[in-house]
Amino acid sequence: MARRHPWIYDAAVARLDGRARPGDTVTVLSDGGKVLGKAAWSPESKIRARMWSFDPDAVIDHAFFKRAVAASVARRQAHPALAGQDGVRLIHGESDGLPGVVVDRFGPVVVMQLTSAGADKWREAIVAALVQATGCEAVYERSDSDVRGREGLEPVTGCVHGELPAALTIVEHGIRMEVDVVGGHKTGFYLDQRDNRRMTRELSAGRRVLNCFCYTGGFSLQALAGGAESVLSIDSSAPALATGARNLALNPTLDAARATWREADVFTALRELRDAGERFDLIILDPPKFAPSAAHAERAARAYKDINLLGFRLLNPGGLLMTYSCSGGIGVELFHKIVAGAAADAGVDGRILHRLSAAPDHPVGLSVPEGEYLKGLCCQVG
| Residue numbers at the binding site for ligand SAH (CB under 6 A) | 190, 193, 213-216, 218-219, 235-237, 240, 265-267, 286-288
Taking the C-alpha atoms of residue 252 and residue 254, their distance in angstroms, rounded to an integer, is 5
Q: Least Å distance between CB 245 and ligand SAH?
A: 14
Q: Least Å distance between CB 317 and ligand SAH?
A: 26
CA distances from 130 to 33, 134, 360 (A): 36, 6, 20
Q: Least Å distance between CB 322 and ligand SAH?
A: 10
Q: Least Å distance between CB 83 and ligand SAH?
A: 22
Mapping DSSP to helix (H, G, I), strand (E, B) and coil, where does residue 212 land? Answer: strand
Q: Give backbone dihedrals phi and psi of 325, rounded to 5 degrees, phi first.
A: -135, 130
Residue nearer to ligand SAH on the CB measure, 223 or 266: 266
Q: What is the largest CA-CA distance in the chain?
A: 69
Q: Which of 208, 381, 382, 213 is nearest to 280 (CA)?
A: 208
Taking the C-alpha atoms of residue 216 and residue 106, their distance in angstroms, rounded to an integer, is 15
Question: Is the distance from CB of 341 to CB of 312 less than 8 angstroms?
Answer: no
Strand order in the sheet with 7-9: 7-9, 47-53, 35-41, 25-29
Q: Least Å distance between CB 265 and ligand SAH?
A: 4
Residue nearer to ligand SAH on the CB measure, 64 or 335: 335
Catalytic residue numbers read 326
Residue nearer to ligand SAH on the CB measure, 53 or 325: 325
C-alpha dihedral over 197, 198, 199, 203, to 10 degrees? 100
Taking the C-alpha atoms of residue 267 and residue 311, their distance in angstroms, rounded to an integer, is 10
Mapping DSSP to helix (H, G, I), strand (E, B) and coil, where does residue 120 land? Answer: helix
AA letter at 205? A
How far apart are the two ends of the chain, measured CA to CA in Å? 48
Residue nearer to ligand SAH on the CB measure, 236 or 367: 236
Q: Which of 213, 166, 215, 208 is nearest to 316 (CA)?
A: 208
Q: Least Å distance between CB 45 and ligand SAH?
A: 26
Q: Least Å distance between CB 85 and ligand SAH?
A: 15
Residue nearer to ligand SAH on the CB measure, 191 or 368: 191
Give the ranges where the chain is alpha helix by DSSP (H). Answer: 62-77, 80-83, 117-121, 123-134, 194-203, 218-225, 238-250, 266-275, 297-313, 332-346
